[in-house]
Chain A
């Protein structure tokens, strides 16, 4: 049955493995994967361009909708870019609240991934349990921001809602319960012998390859690449509190799962400290007003659950930015699968592809072809066009 001539097993463009449009073209010999071709770009929405037509107050709402899961990471980086351009210092209370919301998002995103990973392995009980324990996190988000997702919490200069004194003790109680559940899940996953058999040594991404492919976030940290924007370029409240960066060296799927689970526990630590620190700060001081629109460039970085989110904004003194650029982590991480799945079986490919926690909304880029299939703009064309535009606008080197 398994003849040894190579044939193609498609994963995508629509596949029960992942609920978004993506296309992994696996070339296999029998069950062994010998080549992987990754094709993305089924859902291009042009957020960068949309942002150039919005005012600075509207942009956080637009970038929030890039991804439902990272719906605070993009605004986080966005408001930091705008603040950087406009030279605004945010009040410490706003910084703590930003970190709290960011870390809550990290927990729910990692639990979501854990559930999906279980589902991909046919372990639907883990799926349901992880998502059940994700529920209190979403409820905490709702209590703090008013929404379970798409929080609309951030604005250039601060945050929109305060965490009042009376809310802190109940939130701490929920965190204690959550901690116990997270420990239980972590132990259950790390001690399961069948999971060990399925995940250990599968889809290994070596440190060299991880650096070569510019992987970031848990994907990189599981391969020994110790990068975390929260540590390397501290912002919000991250350098005022104690926490650890989780770095493992194995680089296999099991390490990626372990990094995420341990990060969840770190996140509860961060949230707990932030909530404690909030008690000593004056209530209501959450917004440094942005008076003038920026007339300068600014960049904002934030460590999203999947890796570094990078936003660039160039203002020209008007209400609208002249240029807006977004770079999301999944685009780098997904490409690293080219080496990670090689040599494994089709069964391993499914979980390896999912192990980078791919988020396809973040990855959309387009390439223009004419009707005969010829690429219209090559790399050199694009560089030339970009330089011409910069020159026309009278800036740049």
Chain B
């Protein structure tokens, strides 16, 4: 708990924060593009393509639309990048060095997660373009749609673990007992959290706020050059962060259920498996309308997570907590 300032800066900027997440995030983008390409009978890009794309954007001009408040227009993407870096630091530090995590970090993670769509909406409304305002309003609706089921899904695992609010403790509980995913209530919670994350990432069927063929990129339509690059980088880092988010909260982190330290290397495959699942869903569905997405989250997904929550509460209230339920 008593970290020196040097270590905190190292954690934030190098590992597991900004630099590490950037590199892994761009690799994840490559995995996404490659899997997508293979599903669609295409060859797909070379490994370094996402890096080239990012560096290319850094060298381009930035246009600031007339009437856009510069502070928000430039500030929002940077805030987004910062919050994703902190998010990944908090999540990974809890996973690798549980003793150095702080109490209530789960709450911080939830706040930072909520911060990202708000940043996007801020950036969109700062660009004074009717289309990006439309994109912003869609993002807002979508955020309201998925936030409640996501909170219920997390409440499920908190109840199941007996009220742990520290990510490290949640992980310890999973290692001591079993990952939440391998129980009925946990599976319900995982499915609904997974769908919420799909929406948070703006993946098809929930890429409603960007909808290239409807509103031409929507929230990012007026961004160009390095500003767009930073937004894309934030998105790329989010690829990695959401997959470790699901791995840590539902699948027992990076540890494998076998003896021997070396096996844990394969734990890195878990977030990749989650990413591939997300990409496959993305490639086998058309885009929903925003009202349909709202209805979907507030009926089916919310029902799933509430069922999970009730089951978890039942399992906990038994004399000895029922692990499989």
User: A119's contact among B130, B207, B213, by CB below 8 Å, is which?
Assistant: B213
Contact with A along B85-123 (1 / 0, CB 8 A): 000000000000000000000000000000000000100
CB distance from A358 to the nearest CB of B (A): 14
CB distance from B228 to the nearest CB of A (A): 16
A124 to B285, CA, bound (A): 9
Which one of B16-24, B38-46, B67-75, B261-269 is at the interface?
B38-46
CB distance from B323 to the nearest CB of A (A): 35
Contact with B along A193-231 (1 / 0, CB 8 A): 011011000000000000000000000000000000000
Which one of A1-9, A264-272, A278-286, A289-297 is at the interface?
A1-9
B290 and A125 contacting across the interface, CB-CB below 8 Å: no
B213 and A198 contacting across the interface, CB-CB below 8 Å: no
Contact with A along B196-216 (1 / 0, CB 8 A): 000000001101100111111
A8 to B214, CA, bound (A): 14
Q: Which of A1, A17, A127 has the most CB of B within 10 A?
A: A1
A122 and B286 contacting across the interface, CB-CB below 8 Å: yes
Please, which residues of chain A bring their CB within 8 A of the CB of B134?
2, 9, 28, 31, 346
A129 and B136 contacting across the interface, CB-CB below 8 Å: no
The closest CB in chain A to the CB of B284 belongs to A125
Contact with B along A123-148 (1 / 0, CB 8 A): 11111110010000000000000000
Please, which residues of chain B bring their CB within 8 A of the CB of A350?
211, 213-214
A123 and B285 contacting across the interface, CB-CB below 8 Å: yes
A128 and B40 contacting across the interface, CB-CB below 8 Å: yes
B213 and A194 contacting across the interface, CB-CB below 8 Å: no
CB distance from B147 to the nearest CB of A (A): 17
Please, which residues of chain B bring their CB within 8 A of the CB of A126?
286
A129 and B41 contacting across the interface, CB-CB below 8 Å: yes
B125 in the interface (beta carbon within 8 A): yes
B299 in the interface (beta carbon within 8 A): no
Which chain A residues in 323-368 approach chain B with CB under 8 Å? Answer: 345-350
Interface of B is mostly: helix
B140 in the interface (beta carbon within 8 A): yes
Please, which residues of chain A bring their CB within 8 A of the CB of B39?
125
B131 in the interface (beta carbon within 8 A): yes
Interface size class of A (residues with CB under 8 A): 35 or more
User: A347's contact among B42, B121, B204, B211, by CB below 8 Å, is which?
Assistant: B211
B292 in the interface (beta carbon within 8 A): yes
Which chain A residues in 2-60 approach chain B with CB under 8 Å? Answer: 2, 7-9, 15-17, 28, 30-31
Please, which residues of chain A bring their CB within 8 A of the CB of B133?
1-2
The closest CB in chain A to the CB of B212 belongs to A16
B287 and A121 contacting across the interface, CB-CB below 8 Å: yes
User: A346's contact among B36, B42, B205, B215, by CB below 8 Å, is which?
Assistant: B215
A350 to B287, CA, bound (A): 12
Tell me whether A345 and B289 are in contact in the complex, defined as CB-CB below 8 angstroms, given that A1-B137, A15-B216 are known contacts. Answer: yes
CB distance from B171 to the nearest CB of A (A): 35
A238 in the interface (beta carbon within 8 A): no
CB distance from A264 to the nearest CB of B (A): 20
Tell me whether A347 and B208 are in contact in the complex, defined as CB-CB below 8 angstroms, given that A1-B136, A120-B213 are known contacts. Answer: yes
A315 in the interface (beta carbon within 8 A): no
Contact with A along B219-235 (1 / 0, CB 8 A): 00000000000000000
A346 to B291, CA, bound (A): 12
B213 and A16 contacting across the interface, CB-CB below 8 Å: yes
B172 in the interface (beta carbon within 8 A): no
B136 and A17 contacting across the interface, CB-CB below 8 Å: no
Interface size class of B (residues with CB under 8 A): 20 to 34
A76 to B42, CA, bound (A): 35
A16 to B41, CA, bound (A): 23
A123 and B287 contacting across the interface, CB-CB below 8 Å: yes
B204 and A122 contacting across the interface, CB-CB below 8 Å: yes
A57 to B181, CA, bound (A): 72
B300 in the interface (beta carbon within 8 A): no
A269 to B303, CA, bound (A): 48
B40 and A122 contacting across the interface, CB-CB below 8 Å: no
CB distance from A136 to the nearest CB of B (A): 13
Please, which residues of chain A bring their CB within 8 A of the CB of B214?
17, 120, 346-347, 349-350
B288 in the interface (beta carbon within 8 A): yes
A125 and B40 contacting across the interface, CB-CB below 8 Å: yes
CB distance from B297 to the nearest CB of A (A): 14
B128 in the interface (beta carbon within 8 A): no
Which chain B residues in 132-153 approach chain A with CB under 8 Å? Answer: 133-134, 136-137, 140
Tell me whether A194 and B215 are in contact in the complex, defined as CB-CB below 8 angstroms, given that A9-B130, A9-B131, A129-B40 are known contacts. Answer: no
Which chain B residues in 263-284 approach chain A with CB under 8 Å? Answer: 283-284
A75 in the interface (beta carbon within 8 A): no
The closest CB in chain A to the CB of B205 belongs to A194
CB distance from B142 to the nearest CB of A (A): 12
CB distance from B282 to the nearest CB of A (A): 9
User: A122's contact among B42, B205, B291, by CB below 8 Å, is which?
Assistant: B205
A342 to B267, CA, bound (A): 52
Please, which residues of chain B bring their CB within 8 A of the CB of A321?
none
A9 to B133, CA, bound (A): 11
Please, which residues of chain A bring their CB within 8 A of the CB of B288?
194, 197-198
A124 to B134, CA, bound (A): 23
A118 in the interface (beta carbon within 8 A): yes
User: A125's contact among B212, B215, B283, B291, by CB below 8 Å, is which?
Assistant: B283
The closest CB in chain B to the CB of A8 belongs to B130
Tell me whether A124 and B213 are in contact in the complex, defined as CB-CB below 8 angstroms, given that A1-B125, A198-B286 are known contacts. Answer: no
Please, which residues of chain B bring their CB within 8 A of the CB of A123?
204, 285-287
A363 to B68, CA, bound (A): 38
B41 and A121 contacting across the interface, CB-CB below 8 Å: no
Please, which residues of chain A bring their CB within 8 A of the CB of B212?
16, 122
Please, which residues of chain B bring their CB within 8 A of the CB of A125?
39-40, 283-284
Question: Other than the known A16-B216, A31-B134, what 10 A-B pairs have Cβ atoms closer than 8 Å?
Answer: A1-B136, A9-B215, A16-B212, A28-B134, A125-B283, A129-B41, A192-B286, A197-B288, A197-B292, A198-B289
Q: Which residues of A contact B (CB under 8 A)?
A: 1-2, 7-9, 15-17, 28, 30-31, 118-129, 132, 192, 194-195, 197-198, 345-350
21 CB-based A-B contacts, threshold 8 Å: A1-B133, A9-B130, A28-B134, A30-B137, A119-B213, A121-B213, A124-B40, A127-B40, A128-B41, A129-B40, A194-B205, A194-B285, A198-B289, A345-B291, A346-B134, A346-B214, A346-B215, A347-B208, A347-B211, A347-B214, A349-B214
